[in-house]
A and B are shown apart, each in its own frame.
Chain A
Amino acid sequence: MSIERQEIEKLATLSRIAISEDTITEVSQRLSSVLELVDQLQAVNTDGVEAMSHPMKATQRLREDEVSEINQRDAFLAIAPDTEEGLFLVPKVIE
């Protein structure tokens, strides 16, 4: 399965990754080879095999519901590009 230029552009937009014009062919080839591998995997007969949600043979440990974090706002705000009144500021977003 090969991947079209249009799809690369759509993926780039969705992932917020800038792909320059001169690399687009290479990216397309690399992604296509990944998808070929997926095609190979999908060709395997998996009848009767339960879908696996994680490759590790272990289950999730659970945490008790106790507050363990302290307020470190000042430290986090200090490394943000722009802040005001305890808020992180970002370019205006409107839904």
Chain B
Amino acid sequence: MSYSGWETVIGLEVHVQLATKTKIFSGASTSFGAEANTQACAIDLAMPGTLPVLNKQAVHYAVMFGLAIDAEIGKESAFERKNYFYPDSPKGYQTTQLEKPIVGRGNVEIKLADGSTKNVRIHHAHLEEDAGKSLHEGDFRHGVSGIDLNRAGTPLIEIVSEPDMSNAEEAIAFAKRLHSIVTSIGICDGEMSQGSMRFDVNVSVRPTGTTELGTRTETKNLNSYKFMEEAIAKEVERQIDLIEDGGTVKQETRLYNGDTKVARSMRSKEEANDYRYFPCPDLLPVIVSDETIEELRRNLPELPDARQARFIEQYGLSDYDAAVIGSDAAMAAYFEIAAEKSNNAKLTANWTMGELAARLNSQDLSIGKSPVSAEQLGELITRIADNSISGKMAKEVFEGMWAGEGSADEIIETRGLKQVSDSGALEKMVVEVLTANQAMVDDYINTDEAKRKKKLGGFMGKIMQASKGQANPQQVNQILAQKLNELL
């Protein structure tokens, strides 16, 4: 940000949908993509007489997050009601935690592009329920909105950071770190496009060198790192321009539309911050025993740092490869299966981060939805490593696997892609090409030694053509150089 004389202060509130099978207070399914309102039961709809019953798994997942960030665990936590009226919240309040959250203070270390690290303090994390969805577009009659309550009651933890970040890079590094942690310990599926993680960004600015915090605004519900970056840049600019023009920043909630790139103030809500919290009489204090905490600690899945270190040690990956693959739980799991199968970790890492990641990105797919399974990729890499196919052929095989044509071996067979690595056959091919192209050979011999190398490409082209692209290029290169040498 090119505004000299100003510094930015950022804090994040992150909503993480927990990967439970059922809602936080009811036995209705939480699976994504079901038809509207087919997973909203009487409790989720706030029918009179219904009472919440807390999901054990949601409590355990929240504790696991606390353990993963070395936080104090609230052995006794309690639920409050946050009162507000909005049609996607049928009860007229959100059941959440305020005074006694389940996760207390903790720390998350972030790594920055220049190699430095920074500690971001976590203020607390609490359990709460998600709201339903309002649909404003579509074919409804004029003046109505449609309400889908399938998401209502989905368990969330809201992670609240201290205002410890000073630019978009740090905020995004923090967001990615949290994504890496929650997916690694398996408490969230991490599908950002489905809203599994959503970020509220609190931004304020102050003159460089001062310590008093400026008035902050909160931009809500960002669901991609890109949108976060854009929203922060816009908001910092807006606040500084406003102050430099003699105005003051108003504390408000804002929205950023990633598609139109327009940020705006949410419609006036002068009284909206008065949520009249009070203890939820329907829910008793939640006790998590020391035994439960210890059991969850013992069974806590591998954290990203430990996994990255193991990838370097066990598979001999570079720091960079280990960081890229090891920070993404799904990619890490995929890689391990493929590497096991191929027995060639380095090549597997290259393909996972290269061809596979590129194809997934281009179709906006998560690795869990990859049409090419980890086993399949492992088989393909086995065939590259044993020289059955060239790197170029491998890309063709990969395309075939992506299109569902079968395993690597099947595609190599049906497409006739087998690389010829039999040195006898290759030698014969080289000699044939040299004999058939005597003029090229003479030209080669008569060329200055320093310039001969450039002539090799012509021979290679002819040989590859003769082999229909199936000759092992490294071997051909060797044999060709040797044969030509003999003629000199």
Contacts and interface: CB of A to CB of B under 8 A. Distances in A.
B258 interface: no
A14 B56 contact: no
B134 A63 contact: no
B22 A73 contact: no
A64 B56 contact: yes
A53 interface: yes
Contacts of A71: 38-39
Interface in B140-176: 140-141, 143-149
A4 to B, nearest CB: 15
Contacts of B267: 94-95
A54 B27 contact: no
B22 A66 contact: yes
A93 interface: yes
Contacts of B301: none
Contacts of A14: 83, 271, 274, 276
Contacts of B279: 53-54
B212 to A, nearest CB: 31
Contact of B144 (A15, A61, A65, A92): A92
B358 interface: no
A65 B284 contact: no
Given A65-B56, A93-B86, A59 B22 contact: no
B287 A60 contact: yes
Contacts of B140: 84, 87, 89
A78 to B, nearest CB: 12
Interface stretch (B29-37, B114-122, B191-199, B425-433): B29-37
B39 A65 contact: no
Interface residues of B, number: 57
B35 A86 contact: yes
A25 interface: no
A59 B36 contact: no
A68 B148 CA distance: 20
A47 to B, nearest CB: 18
Interface in A16-33: 16
A59 B136 contact: no
Contacts of B99: 51, 53
Given A61-B53, A76-B37, A76-B40, A93 B145 contact: yes
A62 to B, nearest CB: 4
B142 to A, nearest CB: 8
A68 B23 CA distance: 10
B35 A69 contact: no
Interface in B74-127: 76, 78, 83, 85-87, 99-100
Interface in B258-287: 266-267, 271, 274, 276, 279, 281, 283-287
A51 B37 CA distance: 39
A41 interface: no
B38 A86 contact: yes
Given A59-B286, A60-B283, A67 B29 contact: yes
B41 A72 contact: yes
B37 A69 contact: no
Nearest to A72: B41
B373 interface: no
Contacts of B242: none
A71 B38 CA distance: 5
A53 B39 contact: no
Interface of B: 20-22, 26-29, 35-42, 45, 53-59, 76, 78, 83, 85-87, 99-100, 134-136, 139-141, 143-149, 255, 266-267, 271, 274, 276, 279, 281, 283-287
List 4 A-B pairs, minimum CB-CB distance, nearest first. Answer: A68-B27, A87-B146, A65-B57, A53-B78
25 contacts: A13-B271, A16-B85, A51-B99, A53-B285, A54-B279, A54-B283, A59-B285, A60-B284, A61-B284, A62-B286, A69-B26, A73-B35, A73-B37, A85-B139, A86-B35, A86-B148, A87-B37, A88-B149, A89-B140, A89-B144, A89-B145, A89-B146, A90-B144, A93-B134, A95-B266
